[in-house]
Structure 1
Amino acid sequence: MQELYNQTSASATRSAEVSKVLRNTYMLLAITMAVSAVCAALSIAIGLGRGTALMMSLGALALVWFVLPRTANSSSGLWVVFGFVALLGASLGPTLSYYLQMPNGSTVVMQALGGTALVFFGLSGYVLTTGKDFTFMGGFLFIGLIVAIVAMLALFGLSFFGIQVSGAHLAISAVIVLLMSGFILYDTSRIITGGETNYILATVALYLNIYNLFTSLLHLIGALGGDD
């Protein structure tokens, strides 16, 4: 009986810890989305250049790669996260400005936002309601991501020499949409299975999934609309 009680108590404690991580993660995720939206709007308003946007993106990556791992277990990690999402949000300004200047630009952006929300809430909701474990997908997803990055670098190298591969950028965007959808399943599963207990790191992972999903959908929808 004592063993059964201990098992039940441990299960209840674990469930409470998972619920706390989920609650904190989605609360922080909502705030980071708002911060990104404000920074993107400011970036559009001031007409931020693509060069500056690229430097901001690199700065954001430096924060998440080198600074966040050292601060994720302290309150300082929150400031790093806010700096990270502010930089990435602002770096979206030139891209959003480009699409908004198209004849149907507002529709394209809203469709990309709606599609991103639909995919994220649909997939994460499915994991949360069914409790299915998708952490087995981790290896496949990371390999796919590496292949996609290598392909993007190869295309960049070819374009540097004036070589254009028709449809390649769209194909990569479509692959990234699939990969980010898989990562949403994977990262949400990691939280509910106890594989990720740090809500700051969990938030950054989900934020990156949403960010890359949105930009890829934006590219696809803009291109399929005949204006890209």
Structure 2
Amino acid sequence: MHEHDYALNSTQTAQRQVSSVLRNTYALLAMTMAFSGLVAYLAQQANVPHPGIIVTLVAFYGLFFLTVKLRDSAWGLVTTFALTGFMGYTLGPILNLYLGMPNGGEVISSAFTMTALVFFGLSAFVLTTRKDMSFLSGFITAGFFVLLAAVVASFFFQISGLQLAISAGFVLFASACILYQTSAIIHGGETNYILATITLYVSIYNLFISLLQLFGFMSSDD
């Protein structure tokens, strides 16, 4: 009897922890998305220049790993907003680039809508079915290195359709990351809501940028 009560209490404790991580993750994600969107709007309105690929990578990975290191302290929240704010800043010049197109506003709107639909659709699928998506870890790892190699190749070789393929690959990669991370939360594999938040944020950011490139490419063919 005591063993049964202990097992029941352990299950209830685990469920409460999962609910807490999930609730905190989506709350923080909503705040960081709003903050990032505000920074992107201000950067777009101010017509700021893009910091460049080197500065972007150094700042992103620096803030990302700093957030990982500080994930168990209040400073982790500070670096989370610093990271998402910086990514919002880099988005401003990109939006201006597309707004300079004849139908740039429509391209941005389409990419934003599709990003929201994909994220909420994938999240709802995992939360509803509660399927374990841990099997995607191999695909995500392999996909990372394949996309990294493709991005590096794009700097040295002008291959027709490579950028389009990279964008499509990032859409699949980001979608897999959303499925994997959401599943990790509800199955207790991810217990830190700060790490869960930045992982989902980066996936959403990459998804939006990739869809923006795809829609922009299709629009240019019209």
**Coarse TM-score class (shorter-chain normalised):** over 0.9
Q: How does 1:22-101 map to 2 (within 5 A)?
A: 22-51=22-51, 55-65=55-65, 67-101=66-100
* Match of residue 121 from structure 1: 120
Higher mean C-alpha displacement, 40-49 vs 209-218: 40-49
> C-alpha separation between the residues in 2 aligned to 1:56 and 1:216?
17
In structure 2, how many angstroms separate the alpha carbons of the residues matched to 1:131 and 1:91? 35
- Pairwise CA distance, 1:52: 5.3
Give the percent of matched residue pairs that are identical in Structure 1 and Structure 2.
46
Please list the CA deviations of residues 75-99 of structure 1 after superposition, one character each: whole Å capped at 9, or x if unmatched: 0000000000010100011111011
| Superposition deviation, residue 227 in structure 1 | 6.1
User: What residue is the counterpart of 2:18 in the other structure?
Assistant: 18
The CA deviation at 1:165 is 1.0
1:214 maps to 208
| Residue 166 in structure 1 maps to residue 160 in structure 2 | yes
Contiguous gaps of at least 5 residues in structure 1? 159-163
Give the letter aligned to residue 74 of structure 1. Answer: S
Cα deviation for residue 68 of structure 1 reads 1.5
- Quick one: distance in 2 between partners of 1:178 and 1:142? 13
Give ranges in structure 2 of 5+ residues lacking alignment. Answer: none
Residue 9 (structure 2) pairs with residue 9 (structure 1)? yes
**Which amino acid letter does the alignment assign opposite residue 167 of structure 1?**
G
After superposing on structure 2, the runs of 4+ consecutive aligned residues of structure 1 that deviate more than 3 Å are 51-54
Q: Report if aligned partners of 2:136, 2:180 keep a CA contact under 8 Å in 1.
A: yes
User: Is contact 2:137-2:180 (8 Å) kept?
Assistant: yes
Q: Is the 8 A contact 1:57 1:87 kept in 2?
A: no
TM-score, normalising length from structure 1? 0.94
Aligned-partner Cα distance in 1 for 2:5–2:211:
50
What amino acid is the match of 2:139?
Answer: F
Q: TM-score, normalised by structure 2?
A: 0.96
Give the whole-Å Cα distance in 2 for the aligned partners of 1:53 and 1:87: 13
- Judge conservation of contact 1:57–1:91 (CA < 8 Å) in 2: no
Q: CA RMSD in A?
A: 1.4
Matched, 1:178 2:177: no
